[in-house]
């Protein structure tokens, strides 16, 4: 789905996907674009990179290799089952396994996971980060979508879902790896 780029510090930056999560006015929305690229060719326009897990109580969005992202989503759901739906505890355990397990360490993906109270970025570098302002973007258009969402929160009366929709449109107009076929899930 996306191609990771490794820099000198062995961190990964993904291009080919935009995922945005926003908590605003008591609602959380997670949006993802639908474009899948292979090198410089668009091969799919309507991929679903955002989905509900754990009885619909958790929304995840992912950037990275599709099989890896699906594998990590399944592993997160297993952790949620083990830890009675505690997103923070499950995310920490997943990140620990992801960083230390020989097989998982090679997975190339990054994810956002949200529930009704918590929003987390989870990475293979061992990161479990909760954003200060309730807005986070990942992938190639993530910075554009996040910046647009911050401005819309400050200067508009839109709800979380519509802010996510508008911010994703802005990201799609800037990032060539992001399209305007958007999936949005709301809690």
Q: If you write DSSP's letter for every residue of 109-130 in order, what string do you get? A: EEEEEE-SS-EEEEETTS-EE-
Cβ atoms of 115 and 53 within 8 Å: the answer is: no
Q: Could you confirm whether 17 is annotated as catalytic?
A: yes
Residues linked to residue 28 through DSSP beta bridges, in sequence order: 23
User: 114 and 62 in contact (C-beta within 8 Å)?
Assistant: no
Radius of gyration of the chain (CA): 15
Which among 17, 37, 73, 183 is annotated as catalytic?
Answer: 17
Question: Active-site residues: which are they?
Answer: 17
């Amino acid at each position: 789905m996306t191609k990771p780029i490794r820099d000198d510090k062995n961190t990964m930056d993904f291009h080919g996907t935009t995922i945005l999560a926003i908590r605003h006015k008591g609602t959380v929305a997670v949006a993802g674009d639908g474009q899948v690229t292979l090198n410089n060719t668009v091969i799919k326009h309507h991929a679903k990179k955002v989905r509900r897990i754990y009885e619909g109580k958790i929304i995840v969005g992912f950037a990275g290799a599709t099989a890896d992202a699906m594998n990590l989503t399944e592993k997160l759901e297993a952790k949620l089952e083990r830890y009675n739906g505690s997103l923070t505890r499950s995310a920490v355990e997943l990140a620990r396994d992801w960083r230390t397990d020989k097989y998982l360490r090679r997975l190339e993906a990054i994810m956002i996971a949200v529930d009704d109270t918590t929003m987390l970025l989870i990475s293979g570098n061992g990161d479990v980060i909760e954003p200060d302002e309730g807005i986070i973007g990942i992938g190639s258009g993530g910075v554009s979508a996040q910046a647009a969402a911050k401005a819309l929160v400050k200067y508009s009366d839109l709800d979380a879902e519509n802010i996510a929709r508008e911010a994703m449109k802005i990201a799609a107009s800037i990032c060539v790896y992001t399209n305007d076929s958007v999936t949005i899930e709301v809690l």
